[in-house]
Amino acid sequence: MSNHCQPFAPRSLSLTVQRCLPQLDALALNLDTYGTAEDAEQLHEVIDELKKASQTTLPPLAGPMDFVVNGTFKVGRQQVANTLWYAFTGPITWFTIRETVPPRTVTFRSIDQTNPGIVDYPLNDGGVVRVVSTGAKPEMLELRLDVIARGLDVLANRYPRHFADLVNENGDSITADVLLQCCFFGELLYA
63 domain residue, yes or no: no
Range of the domain at 44: 10-58
Q: Are residues 83 and 164 both part of a single domain?
A: yes
Q: How far apart are the first and last CA of the chain?
A: 33
Per the model's pLDDT, the better-predicted residue between 127 and 115 turns out to be 127
Q: Are residues 39 and 122 both part of a single domain?
A: no
Q: Are residues 87 and 180 both part of a single domain?
A: yes
Low-confidence winner among 18-22, 169-173, 178-182 (lowest mean pLDDT): 18-22
Model confidence pLDDT, tens digit, residues 36-58: 777 667 776 777 777 666 544 44
- Which residues, 6 or more positions from 145, have their beta carbon under 8 angstroms from its beta carbon? 122, 123, 124, 125, 127
Model confidence pLDDT, tens digit, residues 65-100: 677 776 677 899 999 999 999 999 889 999 999 999
* Residue 180 burial (C-beta neighbours within 10 Å; 0-12, 13-18, 19+): buried
Helix 160-167 vs helix 13-34: crossing angle, to nearest 10: 120
The predicted structure's pLDDT at residue 55? 45
Number of domains making up the chain:
2
Q: Are residues 158 and 98 both part of a single domain?
A: yes
Sign of the CA dihedral with 78 first, then 185, 138, and 101 last:
negative
Beta strands in 24-153 (DSSP E): 66-69, 73-76, 95-101, 128-133, 140-143
Mean pLDDT, the chain, rounded, equals 80
Per the model's pLDDT, the better-predicted residue between 118 and 96 turns out to be 96
Query: Rounded to two decimals, what is the model's pTM?
Result: 0.65
In this structure, are residues 190 and 94 in contact, taking their beta carbons and an 8 Å threshold? yes
